Amino acid sequence: MWPLRSGVSRLSRWPPAKVALVQCPVWWTTDPPLGLAQLAGSLKHFGHETEVFDLSIELYRERGEKYKNAWAWEQFAFWQDAAWMADCFRDHAAFWDRAVTRILESDSPVIGFAVFLGSLRTTLEVARRLKAAAPDRVIVLGGEYFFLGGKAEELIRHPSVDAIVTGAADFAFPELVKKLQDSGRLEPCPGAVVKRDGEILSGGERPPQDSLDELPFADYEPFPLALYEDANRIPMTASRGCVRRCAFCSTREFWKGYSYMSGERIYAEVAHHAKRHPGRRHVEFYDITANGSVPSLERFAELVIEKGPTIAWKINAIIRPEMTREVLDKLAASGCTSIIYGLESGSEHVLKLMRKEYGPAVAERVLKDTHEAGIKTTANFMFGFPGETDADFRETLEFLRRNHRWLDRVYPSRTYTALEEHAYLFEHPEEFGIKVDPAKPTNLYWETLDGTNDFLVRMKRCDEFCALAAELGIDVQKGLDAELALDRQLSLAQYHEFKSNDLEAARAYLAYAELDLQNPASLSRLKDYEIKLAGKHPDDVASRDALALVRATLWQAERESRTGAVTDRSAEFSGAR
């Protein structure tokens, strides 16, 4: 370890400059966390040794029965619930103790955490335990969570946090480590804020990366690859941000425009991974907009066709006229097996409101060409974008009827239309006729001033859309690791909770418990509603009935938990995962 002159750490040894990288739950289980792999690659490139602790996948593999479904997407909110989290730490005490010991035993003076909203609480708890056991270790947080909105300024004050990388960490984090190594103390650098002797020091903003060609390759070697569910997949990203300015999306704000890799650079990294991990033949591109530069994508495809390796790959893409049949044929020939388009609506009017730069006619042509090129064609849809009338929604249904032959799958948005922080829609609600209540801010449960569009209207449209898609033989999917029925039920419960409709919220949580009786988070909510409903007037028959049912449900859950007769959700919902 390196000696520090002063500050949080008094490190006693010099290099090797080892960094522990930690992913706390919850993150998904399909493949390794890409952000952490990119960081591992950058640190390696700059000569640092890394050790990765993906505690999310490790805990997933060791989780108790009660937490069987806790990694599903719709459970995300529970990881932010303090009481639920306390239970999770208590129920897996040995795991957490072991994890902290292992991280400390890695002998890394710097410990970096990849943070998302879902992993924030677990991260802070693990950081607290690490600091308590070894105050000299430097705790650094990073991730998109800190890019905007003052989150870094807030969290740097946390007693267990020493530094936060506030933007892309590819070069900022290695620089932070290097400065620490050189000077023996935390020094701010562009793109990072540090706390030294209680003082908060900002290095200012780091200029955005215009080209991604200089980025080191992601490094998957330190990851426990055998633990991830998809043994064939390597995650990758070849671009950041987006070329579009869709009103509902904040991607451009996070990444300040669009930056991307050349076709040659994409190819080089793909070939590198194919060589290092010969058993993994599918490249999953997680870019929001992989076709922001069609020539780059086309060039990458040409190189794969020309030189190999034989791989399959999948992208998220925008609808654009440049996605011609010729381009799509080339992508298919190079192994592109699946494209997910952010289509969102089949109505010209709604697409304009969303600031999409295409109309339904272009979308129809691109979907048809993609499907006919032999590429699995998926489209995302949103519901109840402000300004979407019932007639507009009917146009989307008609669009689906007209084009169902070209659509292999649809992803109906599980939030219908969310007010994404920093997106244009979020920043300008009045322009879209959205009612604003400063006392009760909400991203999900907004409604329009004219009263025609609220969460229940959007949910109903989504239900109708899903029913039609299923009737037309289109695969209706969740898009993320979630069970649609559970997700819908939880959304409804949380909506009623937000609206303070105690009875409806209790009923929705009861319906959720019917689907997953052992879910500790929904049971915890039901315990709250047991108290609330017990306080209602005895002549309120509906509340009385709900209370009786809450009690019966809690009793049954407790009983089955004791006897081990736990409902296996995966058996009830075949094909859910």
| Interface positions with another protein (CB under 8 A) | 510, 513-514, 517, 545, 548-549, 551-553, 555-556, 559-560, 563, 565, 567, 572
- Both tokens of 205, joined, read 């903003």
Minimum separation from the CB atom of position 515 to another protein (A): 9
Which amino acid is located at 489 in the chain? Q
Dihedral over alpha carbons 568, 572, 574, 577 (to 10 degrees):
-50
Q: Which is nearer to another protein, 132 or 548 (CB)?
A: 548
Minimum separation from the CB atom of position 282 to another protein (A): 35
Minimum separation from the CB atom of position 559 to another protein (A): 5
Minimum separation from the CB atom of position 67 to another protein (A): 19
Q: Which is nearer to another protein, 330 or 569 (CB)?
A: 569
Q: Which is nearer to another protein, 375 or 490 (CB)?
A: 490
Q: Which is nearer to another protein, 163 or 546 (CB)?
A: 546
Let me know: does 550 contact 512? Beta carbons within 8 Å: no
User: CA-CA distance, 388 to 391, in Å (whole number)?
Assistant: 8
C-alpha angle with apex 425: 420 to 430, nearest 5 degrees? 130
Minimum separation from the CB atom of position 459 to another protein (A): 19
Give the CA distances from residue 57 to residues 41, 90, 247, 372, 571, in Å, rounded to whole numbers and listed in that order. 20, 18, 34, 38, 22
Minimum separation from the CB atom of position 475 to another protein (A): 20
Largest CA distance in the chain: 77
Q: Which is nearer to another protein, 185 or 569 (CB)?
A: 569
Q: Which is nearer to another protein, 40 or 547 (CB)?
A: 547
User: CA-CA distance, 126 to 145, in Å (whole number)?
Assistant: 18
Q: Which is nearer to another protein, 246 or 513 (CB)?
A: 513
Closest residue by Cα to residue 446 from 423, 417, 487, 421: 417
Q: Which is nearer to another protein, 8 or 510 (CB)?
A: 510
User: CA-CA distance, 446 to 450, in Å (whole number)?
Assistant: 12
Minimum separation from the CB atom of position 516 to another protein (A): 11
Give the CA distances from residue 25 to residues 32, 98, 117, 352, 423, in Å, rounded to whole numbers and listed in that order. 13, 15, 10, 38, 26
Please give the radius of gyration of the chain, using alpha carbons only, rounded to the nearest integer: 25
Closest residue by Cα to residue 223 from 388, 97, 406, 36: 36
User: Dihedrals φ, ψ of 72, to 5°?
Assistant: -70, 150
Minimum separation from the CB atom of position 485 to another protein (A): 11
Minimum separation from the CB atom of position 563 to another protein (A): 8
Q: Which is nearer to another protein, 435 or 551 (CB)?
A: 551
User: CA-CA distance, 187 to 177, in Å (whole number)?
Assistant: 9
In order, the DSSP letters of 330-374 are HHHHTTEEEEEEEEE-S-HHHHHHTT-S--HHHHHHHHHHHHHTT
- Both tokens of 316, joined, read 């998220």
